[in-house]
């Protein structure tokens, strides 16, 4: 069994680890939606000289070695490229993660009043334990697009003077029948509505709702119908913080999968110029099957490679297949950390443990590897070699016992394009809960591992 990474660190390592983790906590606290992630990352990469691919296409600007390019897919997914010295048809090294997380979404016709309270009607997003989301302070993040296409950014519940929101629950004294239910039915989806007000504006019907709409109109110049063209997400309010007396862990919302997205992005941006072209994909909709125009199943990444090939002077109809066929990828997604309190669903010999480094998963899926990508042994051997040579801690794991459950990532989607790919990521406690927990050592080792992959593979 692998040793705990903390035992090998020098003072220099600890300083670098703390810097990466402090920056990560800030990123996690300030970017709780995929749109916020994309906005922040675009601002960052533009400051580092990255150019928008659309602008290069529109001006028919030829690109060359060393060119830094980003592709913004509908403000909810990104692809980044640094063009290397080698011909792009020889393949690229890809890091791929997702920036969406389980949450609660506001519905299209959300506001209603009921017996002295006003609520937002909701629909949860992704796999959640619904009972975990009640009685917490919640924040509202997102955008409202008015009919004249004015974009209104919404973030309520994060500043100290902001109000927060909550989902109510039944008091224990009256919850006998509720407590007898199966856990998945204790809180029904229709009872995840968000409490947003209780003060009437006057004595007329639905006066509390009218008061809420009046507040929103004064602050944001919106009307009720504007919710039809809104994307509003309900997330836990509050910042990511250190966990434990030794401050060895981080607790925060959305670490699945922003912990892998952040470490992938940081490793990518910190890479020196390489012979091989390198890429970092940050996509949406993984938590609901990677569907839609901003999910990994869309053609946006292939289209981006095609356009880059054209600007490099290659026949894109041939080159895209060659590029992907010769590429290697780490599908950067989290894995379930071994939890001694729930050891009955874990296989000790095939679990990921806190502090033991980046976690590789040869296959995901469920049962008989259904729905998985099953990585090739030759590729795994290459990764083992370069990681050992660069003193990066790593471990191999699966998602629990064989017949207990399972899960998936974006790995199989790129594998379907004949890309050599394996899942790799960071072990997480409380996965898909409002507050998830990671090890700072694993964050640091993932950063090192991703950087080693990009430069050495």
For 336, the token pair is: 């379930």
Annotation: CATH topology of 103-236: Aminopeptidase i, Domain 2 (2.30.250)
Beta-carbon contacts of 124 under 8 Å, excluding residues fewer than 6 positions away, are: 102, 103, 104, 105, 130, 133, 189, 192
Consecutive H or E run containing 21: helix 11-30
Q: Phi then psi for 52, rounded to 5 degrees?
A: -70, 125
E strands within 284-382?
Answer: 328-332, 335-336, 358-361, 365-366
Q: Are 95 and 446 in contact (CB under 8 A)?
A: no
Annotation: CATH topology of 5-101+253-456: Aminopeptidase (3.40.630)
Measured between its terminal Cα atoms, the distance across the chain in Å is 25
Q: What angle do CA 322, 289, 401 make, to 5 degrees?
A: 100
State the burial class of residue 396 (Cβ atoms within 10 Å of its Cβ: 0-12, 13-18, 19+): middle
- Cα–Cα distance measured from residue 358 to residue 259, given in angstroms and rounded to the nearest whole number: 12
- Cα–Cα distance measured from residue 327 to residue 378, given in angstroms and rounded to the nearest whole number: 14
Biggest CA–CA distance in the chain, Å, is: 74
For 118, the token pair is: 């006003």
- Cα–Cα distance measured from residue 33 to residue 68, given in angstroms and rounded to the nearest whole number: 25
pLDDT per residue of the chain (457 residues) written in tens, 0 to 9? 678 999 999 999 999 999 999 999 999 999 999 999 999 999 999 999 999 999 999 999 999 999 999 999 999 999 999 999 999 999 999 999 999 999 999 999 999 999 999 999 999 999 999 999 999 999 999 999 999 999 999 999 999 999 999 999 999 999 999 999 999 999 999 999 999 999 998 888 999 999 999 999 999 999 999 999 999 999 999 999 999 999 999 999 999 989 999 999 999 999 988 899 999 999 999 999 999 999 999 999 999 999 999 999 887 777 899 999 999 999 999 999 999 999 999 899 999 999 999 999 988 877 777 778 888 999 999 999 999 999 999 999 988 888 787 778 888 999 999 999 999 999 999 999 999 999 999 999 999 999 999 999 8
Parse the chain into domains and list their residue ranges.
Answer: 5-101+253-456, 103-236
Could you tell me how many helices (H) and strands (E) the chain has, helices first?
A: 12, 22
Helices (H), 223-314: 255-270, 300-312
pLDDT tens digits along 335-393: 999 999 999 998 999 999 999 999 999 888 777 777 788 889 999 999 999 999 999 99
- Cα–Cα distance measured from residue 63 to residue 193, given in angstroms and rounded to the nearest whole number: 50
Helices (H), 416-457: 440-456
- Cα–Cα distance measured from residue 37 to residue 255, given in angstroms and rounded to the nearest whole number: 13
Of residues 435, 411, 404, the one with CA closest to residue 425: 411
According to DSSP, the residues that pair with 406 across neighbouring strands are 366
- Cα–Cα distance measured from residue 203 to residue 192, given in angstroms and rounded to the nearest whole number: 28
- Cα–Cα distance measured from residue 29 to residue 33, given in angstroms and rounded to the nearest whole number: 10
Q: Are 38 and 294 in contact (CB under 8 A)?
A: no
């Amino acid at each position: 069994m692998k040793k705990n990474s903390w035992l090998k660190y020098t003072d220099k390592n600890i300083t670098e680890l703390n810097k990466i983790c402090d920056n990560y906590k800030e990123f996690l606290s300030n970017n709780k939606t995929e749109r916020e992630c994309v906005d922040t990352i675009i601002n960052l990469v533009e400051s580092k000289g990255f150019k928008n691919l659309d602008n290069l296409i529109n001006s028919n600007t030829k690109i060359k070695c060393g060119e830094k390019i980003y592709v913004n897919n509908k403000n909810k997914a990104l692809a980044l490229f640094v063009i290397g010295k080698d011909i792009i048809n020889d393949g690229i090294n890809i890091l791929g993660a997702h920036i969406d997380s389980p949450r609660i979404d506001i519905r299209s016709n959300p506001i209603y009043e009921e017996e002295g309270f006003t609520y937002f009607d909701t629909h949860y997003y992704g796999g959640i334990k619904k009972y975990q989301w009640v009685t917490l302070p919640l924040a509202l993040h997102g955008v409202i697009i008015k009919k004249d296409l004015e974009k209104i950014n919404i973030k309520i519940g994060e500043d100290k003077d902001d109000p927060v929101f909550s989902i109510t629950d039944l008091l224990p004294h009256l919850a006998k029948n509720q407590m007898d239910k199966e856990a998945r039915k204790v809180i029904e989806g229709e009872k995840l509505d968000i409490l947003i007000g209780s003060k009437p504006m006057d004595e007329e019907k639905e006066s509390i709702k009218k008061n809420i709409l009046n507040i929103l109109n004064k602050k944001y110049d919106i009307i009720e119908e504007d919710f039809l063209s809104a994307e509003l997400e309900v997330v836990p309010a509050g910042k990511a913080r250190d966990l434990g007396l030794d401050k060895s862990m981080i607790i925060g919302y959305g670490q699945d999968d922003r912990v892998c997205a952040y470490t992938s992005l940081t490793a990518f941006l910190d890479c020196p110029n390489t012979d091989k072209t390198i890429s970092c994909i940050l996509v949406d909709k993984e938590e609901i099957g990677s569907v839609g125009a901003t999910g990994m199943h869309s053609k946006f990444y292939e289209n981006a490679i095609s356009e880059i090939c054209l600007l490099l002077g290659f026949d894109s109809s041939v080159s895209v297949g060659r590029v992907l066929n010769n590429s290697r990828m780490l599908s950067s997604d989290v894995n379930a950390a071994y939890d001694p309190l729930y050891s009955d669903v874990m296989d000790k010999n095939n679990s990921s443990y806190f502090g033991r480094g980046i976690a590789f998963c040869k296959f995901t899926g469920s049962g008989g590897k259904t729905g998985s990508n099953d990585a090739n042994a030759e590729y795994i051997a290459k990764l083992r070699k370069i990681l050992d040579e660069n003193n990066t801690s790593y471990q191999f794991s699966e998602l629990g016992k064989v017949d207990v459950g399972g899960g998936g990532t974006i790995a199989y989607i790129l594998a379907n394009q004949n890309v050599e790919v394996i899942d790799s990521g960071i072990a997480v406690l409380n996965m898909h809960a409002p507050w998830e927990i990671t090890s700072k050592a694993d964050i640091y080792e993932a950063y090192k591992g991703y950087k080693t992959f990009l430069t050495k593979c």
